[in-house]
Amino acid sequence: MLIPFRRVLLTATRQHNCRLFSDSHATSSTRKGLVLGVYEKQPDNEGIRLTEAAAAFDSSISGKLSEMLTISGPLLKKGKSRTFYGLHQDFPSVVVVGLGKSSTGVCGKENWDNCKESIRAAVSVGCRQLQDLEVAHVEVDPCGDGQSAAEGAVLGLFEYDEFKTKKKVRVTTQPYGSVDSAAWQKGVLYGDGQNLARRLMEAPANHITPTAFANTIEQKLSPFAHKVAVHKRPQCWIESEQMGAFLSVSKGSEEPPVFLELHYKGSLDSAQPPLVLVGKGITFDSGGISLKPSSGMDAMRADMGGAATVCSALVTAAALKLPINIIGLAPLCENMPSGKANKPGDVVRAKNGKTIQVDNTDAEGRLILADALCYAHSFKPRAIINAATLTGAVDVALGSAAAGVFTNSDWLWERLQKASIVTGDRVWRMPLFQHYTKQITENALADLNNVGKYSRSGGACTAAAFLREFVTADHWAHLDIAGVMTNKDEIPYLRKGMSGRPTRTLVEFIAGLASEP
């Protein structure tokens, strides 16, 4: 039987590659891998289009990469990969990843930059492929955007395995070829920031208590002690501030509450009004007396995702040395059922004097945020942004596509949306109509009710309306991040688990604000 020449060549080449790979085999700690990019073939172009770094590598090995890509089948589509062995003595394993079309940019329909997202996704695929091969040192093609490539590498390689005996190989990455080193390092810091939030959110609730959370953030900020002050406010301080809503939630738990207060002074002008970031810090949410179903309750270890993202964003801003003043506030506690816990129908008093009827103890996040928002105004802020895994309703409305944003400020919304387009971690504006305010203010027993009187209707909107009752600032935004708390397979450069979203969007927003007069 005659065997086609192409199949003979391909088989021989594969055998040759395998032999070279085995000959150059070394321990995972010494082996190096390389990730390179290739674009989709255009209808008017029959040839292979490599990135600048991939073309330089191909030239250094006399065109062997192009030859292998040609004989190994159709060119790679976006997000797909192909691994070659033995092409280069310094890189026993080379993964080529598909970047999609080279001409794409910001997509108005998707509200993100297609090119940046493609690079993040492709690089993450290549790095994971090499990690599975137990390659510990990986050089990465910047693919024309060093920051996005670095983000893809750092985010794609993260996996929470701190309590596993068998762990994946720890991979170090660096750019391959000519690259803007500042852009690459910026991408690394952006990725590290989101990974910090992921690590906090993934950690079991018995390991990340309110006290442990505060200590972790303090430790992460220790390299920037000359610019950052950390205050871990104890229960006696919370009581002195008359934060009755926050205390009413924390009293059901044996774990003491902590009000974490961070001051980053990045601006040379000490009088510059600060940006205040507020994060919901429920380190475990059982629902209290209004107990949640047991199925899936373990995920409520991440109900402090708001605190995790805003604190991680502040840590990243400090690492980037952004010239802006930021204050981070995180009311930290557990929501547990006990003889001391809030009971449905109880009335509590917030810091601003407003009384709240607690009809559902599982709507506790808005209670602790109410006092934190009141306190935020004492700093005469430039703007206030709070983030919280607040409602399942926002997940029903938006799913994991975007975080819901409720804001009284067009100025603030425009900057948040602009930042999200750059990061690919999108936000979507939601309504703050008086229609929703009436549902939480028309209450016979107290000034406010912590749930809308039509409990199944517009839950994310009534929660935002509740928070607005504690805001007098002209520029305030509430980010409901419950829908983006986890990742299954929606974001290709994040593994399954807690997402740490939208940390990078907050960082990009802060960076943009820092660059303004």
**Catalytic annotation, residues:** 292, 366
Place of tokens 């990135």: 51
- Residue 275 CA to residue 273 CA, distance in Å, equals 7
For 157, the 3-state DSSP assignment is helix
Q: Going by C-beta distance under 8 Å and a sequence separation of 6 or more, which residues neighbour residue 472?
A: 377
| Residue 512: strand, helix, or coil | helix
Omega before residue 502 within 30° of 0, cis: yes
Query: What phi and psi values does residue 385 have, to the nearest 5 degrees?
Result: -125, 125
Phi, psi for residue 478 in degrees, rounded to 5: -110, 120
CA 433 to CA 431: how far, in whole Å? 6
Q: How far apart are CA 454 and CA 386, in angstroms?
A: 25
- H helix count then E strand count, the chain: 16, 21
Q: Is the dihedral of CA 58, 59, 60, 63 positive or negative?
A: positive
Query: CA–CA separation, 324 vs 263, rounded Å?
Result: 11
**Residues ≥6 apart with Cβ < 8 Å to 342:** 248, 249, 251, 252, 288, 289, 348, 358, 361, 364
DSSP of 167-221, one letter per residue? -PPP-EEEE-SS--HHHHHHHHHHHHHHHHHHHHHHS-TTTS-HHHHHHHHHHHH
Could you report how far apart the first and last alpha carbons of the chain are, in Å? 76
Q: How far is CA 95 from CA 7, 85, 120, 297, 468, in A?
A: 22, 9, 15, 39, 51
Q: Which amino acid is residue 431, in one-letter code?
A: P
CA 243 to mean position of chain CA atoms: 29
Query: How far is residue 38's CA from residue 305's CA, in Å, rounded to a whole number?
Result: 36
Residue 513 to residue 421: CA distance in whole angstroms: 15
- Distance, in Å, from the CA atom of 407 to the CA atom of 413, rounded to the nearest integer, reads 7
- The answer for residues whose C-beta is within 8 angstroms of residue 160's C-beta and 6 or more apart is 198, 199, 202, 203, 497, 498
